[in-house]
Chains A and B, each alone.
Chain A
Amino acid sequence: GDSVTQMEGPVTLSEEAFLTINCTYTATGYPSLFWYVQYPGEGLQLLLKATKADDKGSNKGFEATYRKETTSFHLEKGSVQVSDSAVYFCALINTGRRALTFGSGTRLQVQP
């Protein structure tokens, strides 16, 4: 079945550092890929998405590129802020499936 693997956290960075959170997936066909973010005490919010190979999703300074050859969708940001501290979830949905499959989440802690 479909699955998503994320790097284990927590990831601790200083403000203005470069961020990469790795995400790889296993799926047949051509899934759509997503990054969701969960701030403390809240539900998840969609951060960005990509629906086909080589698409780049971007939002709020975050970017991720759909790499079919490496089955990856790594999240990057050039300069993190304290307000970016949250848990980040990589997810996919495949053709014919009716619900998203999520990774285990990666906690990001940004220190001033």
Chain B
Amino acid sequence: DGGITQSPKYLFRKEGQNVTLSCEQNLNHDAMYWYRQDPGQGLRLIYYSQIVNDFQKGDIAEGYSVSREKKESFPLTVTSAQKNPTAFYLCASSQTGASNEKLFFGSGTQLSVL
């Protein structure tokens, strides 16, 4: 079945530690996105990538980094510079170009600080 796989489902970070969230898609989509979901604040865009080897900062990129070395993979690293990392992280993908684009979401990773 085609879709987006996020792993792990739950992740714990220690003080000063970098952690990486995995996102893989087999939908052959060009564009991939990372959103952060906090209670009462909806989804906020962290980073997005329209094509391999290219990515752009979203609205809350500070303390995060990404790479897009392969079309199907878009890992997100939460660095020690992110002082409030506890949140639910959602990865999504879409075909590019259309203003009526439809996003396909993974099932998310819950990150908590120890």
A interface residues, Cβ below 8 angstroms from B: 4, 6, 31-32, 36, 41-46, 49, 51, 89, 93-95, 98-105
Contacts and interface: CB of A to CB of B under 8 A. Distances in A.
17 contacts: A32-B99, A42-B108, A43-B6, A43-B90, A43-B105, A43-B108, A44-B105, A46-B102, A51-B99, A51-B100, A89-B43, A93-B101, A98-B48, A99-B58, A100-B101, A102-B35, A105-B43
Contacts of B102: 46, 49
A104 B41 contact: yes
B103 A100 contact: yes
Contacts of A31: 99
A64 to B, nearest CB: 14
Contacts of B48: 98-99
B56 interface: yes
Nearest to A33: B100
Interface size class of B (residues with CB under 8 A): 20 to 34
Which residue of B31, B40, B99, B107 has the most chain A CB atoms within 10 A of its CB atom?
B99
B25 to A, nearest CB: 12
Interface string B33-52: 10100001111110010100
A32 B100 contact: yes
B66 interface: no
B99 A43 contact: no
B76 to A, nearest CB: 15
Contacts of B40: 104
B47 to A, nearest CB: 9
Given A46-B102, A98-B48, A102-B42, 17 more contacts: A4-B42, A32-B99, A32-B100, A43-B4, A43-B105, A43-B106, A44-B90, A44-B92, A44-B105, A45-B105, A46-B103, A93-B100, A99-B45, A99-B58, A102-B35, A104-B40, A104-B41
